[in-house]
Amino acid sequence: MSTPLLVHGDQFLRDGRPHRIVSGAYFRVHPDLWADRLARLSALGLNTIETYVAWNVHERRRGEHDFRGWNDLPRFLELAGAAGLDVIVRPGPYICAEWDFGGLPAWLLADGVLPGGARTLRTSDPAYLSAVDEWFDVLLPRVLPLLATRGGPVVAVQVENEYGSFGDDAAYLEHLRAGLVSRGVDVLLVTSDGPTPDMLRCGSVPGVLATVNFGSRTAESLDALRAEQPVGPQMCMEYWDGWFDHWGEPHHVRSVDSAAGVLDELLAAGASLNLYMAHGGTNVGLWSGANVSEGRHQPTVTSYDYDAAVGEAGELTAKFHAFREVIGRHRELPPLTRVPELPRLATQRVPTTAGPGLLEVAEELGEAAASPMPLTMEQLGQDHGLVHYRGRVLAPAGEHPLSVVGLHDRATVLADGRPLGALDGNETEAALTVRGSGAVVRLDLFVENQGRVNYGTQLGERKGITGGVRLGRRWIHGWASRPVRLDDPGFLTAVTRFAERAGAGPGADRSGAPEGSGAAYGGGGALAPVAAEAPTFHRGEISVPAPGDGFLALPGWGKGFVWLNGFLLGRYWHVGPQRTLYAPAPLWRSGSNIVWVLEMETAGGPLELRDRPDLGPVTDPAKPD
């Protein structure tokens, strides 16, 4: 039975004896693999597991809560306790974590929810606090029975996350602290912030243990914490032992020697720590977030391998063995029990058959909302996926630039059903060319939310089209806006039924363009190539003798989404760095397995099932500070 974790002077106590937290962060894993990954992290030498709780996963629509399957937080906490591990819970409401919107639900951005708009997020604004209180009222009763004070594994709970990097509303932080306590949380409360005086000062709460986050300069960072908190245990709540990747950038790898060296420094200094990450996992579906740097939106890739000690598919890496050796210098380790090998599927090439076009499927998804200007994703009550916009414009004879103002984040554009090209929201001056003949042209735009910003002052941007569409200098008015919820369980069922009903074979013309249509099509997107094909679904079938871990690659394909047996694995994109998608064993079945691919630009050759990951060309940053 677990006992409470206490603070006594500059150290933690458990059962009256000095105690050091050696923890690892854990998130983004198929629930059937929770026990396996916990066993691997215990074998690493950890005595504690830290986990975020993503509000937006549990409450995608306001008032509708889900704690089943992937979201069964109490079950995860119980499994951790059964593995002999303590747990630190970080319930937000904001978590960052390179997770979409930092874990906040998209419905906060819908009209009328926050009268002050996004600028009132993470403040003491009454409307925002009311939403947080409603969430805590649902969440905390599920955590309370598992607190260490009641014999459970949860020894600490975090009050918000890295708030000192965002704002200085002390009343907001105090509201969260008081809300946790008044609802029955009676274990150690902590905050965590970056290693600068202003971050620590603005993110700390009186009476709550402050911790610090960093990846290097150990002595300097711990000294900064001690300057702001003269008495108390020293703890690095996020020791950044690797890093995450953005689309179009190199794959980040931190050398084993560098990561293990800083770990040794932390333990030699007597500090407690939490490895961020110990096991990263996967941004399954559409949950990956984004950053903003110098005005450019930087979406995070599907993988969250993070170059952690335990790899995305459960690999015990060289970093695992180096970390275990370092930890063993500073605390007694349990024997390294044999960790079972994880079966891998054999490699094979998989032909695909072209199915229905996205345009055809979208037209059957229900009524679109009519408005003079395009509606945002949040106005449509949608959090992820695509928005289908349809409008019509008189295109005079000659060439005319078609542009989108307020594009978040990427648009695939069709004119009279044929591909015109793609636009990226980072290229604000980019335009596609419409060659008109004096006739009305039907425009269809599929705008992808590539991940909401999860960190910094630009938190809270709406997705879809926040401005409008122009032909030349003239706004195009009269739009139909329709949500395309790619991760809705019924979406792929609709695609399959459409394909069966249509019976369209490879090479079938599904453009929908009328003969003699009034536009010709040309390129112009500065970042994105002209789409050679209209967005189309492709189907493949993979036969395996028994379930195992596999990795799907799409050589020669452009950009899109992959489903395995109805489960949305995530995104792929030719810009890399990621070249394979992890498909864990629980998603496979013996015999036939169906893969659907929605390709937004250009289909390639056969799919490839591989037996190892390829996360792209690497870089070894001095990261992170």
The closest alpha carbon to 553, from 608, 604, 591, belongs to 608
The C-alpha atoms of residue 530 and residue 542 are separated, in whole angstroms, by 31
Kindly name the residue from 50, 98, 160, 162 that is annotated as catalytic: 162
Contact 308, 322 (CB under 8 A): no
Q: Which residues contact 244 (CB under 8 A, 6 or more apart)?
A: 98, 252, 280, 300, 301, 304, 306
Which amino acid is residue 619, in one-letter code? T
Give the dihedral sign, CA 281/283/287/289.
Answer: positive
Tell how many helices (H) and how many strands (E) occur in the chain.
Answer: 11, 35
Q: What is the DSSP letter of 148?
A: G
Q: Do residues 106 and 378 lie in contact, with contact meaning Cβ atoms separated by under 8 Å? A: yes
Q: Output the pLDDT for position 531.
A: 59
Cα-atom radius of gyration of the chain, to the nearest Å? 25
Which has more confidence, 519 or 596? Answer: 596
Residue whose pair of structure tokens reads 């605390």 in the numeric block: 331
**Amino acid in position 111:** D
- Pick from 32, 31, 41: which is nearest to 87 by CA? 41
Q: Per residue in 551-564, pLDDT tens?
A: 999 999 999 999 99
Q: Does 509 score more than 70 pLDDT? A: no
N-term to C-term CA, the chain: 38
Question: Mean pLDDT across the stretch 494-510?
Answer: 66
Residue 534 or residue 526, greater confidence: 534
- Side chain identity at residue 203, one-letter code: G
What pLDDT does residue 411 have? Answer: 98
Residue 555's CB is within 10 A of a number of other CB atoms, namely 12
pLDDT tens per residue, range 340-372: 888 999 999 999 999 999 999 999 898 999 999
162 is annotated as an active-site residue: yes
pLDDT tens-digit readout, 377-404: 999 999 999 999 999 999 999 999 999 9
Question: What is the per-residue pLDDT across 459-492, written as a single tens digit (0 to 9) for each?
Answer: 999 999 999 999 999 999 999 999 999 999 889 9
Q: What digits encode the pLDDT tens for the residues 426-445?
A: 998 999 999 999 999 999 99
Instruction: Write down the catalytic residue from 50, 238, 312, 378.
Output: 238
Contact 276, 22 (CB under 8 A): no
Looking at residues 92-97, what average pLDDT do you find?
Answer: 97
Type of residue numbered 71: N
| Best CA proximity match to 14, nearest among 182, 164, 188, 137 | 188
What rounded mean pLDDT belongs to the chain? 93
Distance between CA atoms of 542 and 351, rounded to whole angstroms?
9
> Is the dihedral angle over the CA atoms 498, 599, 300, 251 positive or is it negative?
positive
Per-residue pLDDT, 321: 96
Question: Could you give the CA distance from residue 313 to residue 316 in angstroms, rounded to a whole number?
Answer: 9
Region 492-521 average pLDDT: 55
* Nearest alpha-carbon partner for 498 in 536, 541, 540, 446: 536
Residue indicated by tokens 């925002």: 128
Q: In what helix (H) or strand (E) does residue 464 lie, and over which residues does it extend?
A: strand 464-471
Mean pLDDT of all residues in 616-622: 69
pLDDT of 240-291, one tens digit each? 999 999 999 999 999 999 999 999 999 999 999 999 999 999 999 999 999 9
Please count the CA atoms within 13 angstroms of the CA of 320 that sit on its side-chain side: 18
CB-CB contact of 518 with 395 (8 Å): yes
Domain architecture of the chain: domains with CATH? 6-328 (3.20.20.80), 348-353+536-619 (2.60.120.260), 355-487+500-522 (2.60.120.260)
Q: What percentage of the chain exceeds 70 in pLDDT?
A: 94
